[in-house]
Amino acid sequence: MTPMPHQTPRMTSRTEGPVGWMVFDNPARRNAVSYEMWAAIPDIIAAFEADPAIRIVALTGAGDRAFVSGADISQFAQRRSDPGQTAEYDRVSAAATQTIKSLRKPSVAVIRGYCIGGGLGVAATCDLRWATAGSKFGVPAGRLGLGYAHPGVKTLMDIVGPAYTKEIFFTAKHFSAAEAQGMGFVNRVVPDGEFDAWVAAELATIAANAPLTLAALKLTVGELLRGHEADLGRADAAVTACFASADYTEGRTAFMEKRPPVFRGS
């Protein structure tokens, strides 16, 4: 386990082999995200993006009570009490979530406990979401009088569709992990006692696959979600790069030799 730079006391990072971990570390507030934590996220993600040894990025919360329980509302009087402050806060939080969403490597939200409000928004920017059976999900904006900017709504709607997006916001309820999986928000729900071992095995499986193939698939899905604005030429170029790579040769050779492939990302 290697500590990483570009972190604050409440927003930390580490590496475990090919996995880069970003940790929301504010357990006293159920990992609610402060302005300073939002501001630290782009540097952490950039460090993972630049490190060729990192094959997958995992986001999680410290402890087992929460992934992220939302934004740190205790800061709102100081940070979001007038239009100028609100615009600055929104700029920093939007830059953080966009950095996660734009990561070229696979990303996964590893969720224990509460995944609420801004926490659900952070999880939605990841490619995959895995949760313990006891986790809870929701967006309480309707109970707080908050407006929710359209980029965040679009990200959620791309995952669960318009009807479930409306239900999540209209009710402001907490949903169980099983309900979140039924909506299509959570990919896998695992019993709490089995979760750590299952996550470790699944991360290892993904990290062992060809980086260029995974990056090409992620890019292609992203372009297809843009509808008529999609740049499918970028997707085609990424696929072509896979076939021209040394990893493609290694994959074929390993298959014929009946051994696990060793991919280099080139």
pLDDT in tens, 27-68: 988 999 988 899 999 999 999 999 999 999 999 999 999 999
pLDDT in tens, 59-116: 999 999 999 998 777 666 565 556 777 788 888 889 999 999 999 999 999 999 999 9
Q: 138: closest CA among 225, 67, 34?
A: 67
**Domain spans of the chain, in order of start:** 2-207, 211-257
- Are 2 and 59 in contact, with CB atoms under 8 Å apart? no
- Are 187 and 160 in contact, with CB atoms under 8 Å apart? no
Cut 0.85: pTM above it? yes
Share of the chain above pLDDT 90, in %: 80
What's the CA gap between 10 and 188, in Å, rounded? 27
Please tell me the predicted confidence (pLDDT) of residue 222. 94
Architecture per CATH, 2-207: Alpha-Beta Complex (3.90)
Within 64-191, strands assigned E span: 66-68, 107-111, 114-116, 128-132, 136-138, 175-176, 188-190
